[in-house]
């Protein structure tokens, strides 16, 4: 596994997803409860952007 910088931590607001593209792949990055997570930005069930949603 390798790591790729998606964005600066200063670009992330708590519990607010940010959409970035990594090698042409849309990725949703979010900081919540002091941790940062990155997942494919497309919901597999509804084919919509996860970065436009809310973090619970």
What is the pLDDT averaged over residues 37-51? Answer: 91
Length of the chain, in residues: 56
d(CA 40, CA 50): 8
Give yes or no for a contact between 31 and 9, defined as CB atoms under 8 angstroms apart: yes
| pLDDT for residue 3 | 85
* pTM for this predicted structure: 0.83
Confidence category of residue 2, pLDDT binned at 50, 70, 90: confident
d(CA 24, CA 10): 23
d(CA 7, CA 28): 11
Q: Which pLDDT tens digit goes with each residue over 15-34? A: 999 999 999 999 999 999 99
38 pLDDT more than 80 = yes
Q: Going from the N-terminus, what domains does the chain have, and what CATH number goes with each?
A: 9-52 (2.102.10.10)
């Amino acid at each position: 596994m390798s790591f790729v910088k998606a964005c600066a931590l200063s670009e992330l607001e708590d519990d607010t997803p940010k959409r970035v593209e990594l090698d042409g792949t849309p990725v949703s990055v979010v900081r919540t409860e002091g941790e940062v997570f990155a997942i494919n930005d497309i919901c597999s069930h509804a084919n919509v952007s996860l970065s436009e949603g809310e973090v619970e």
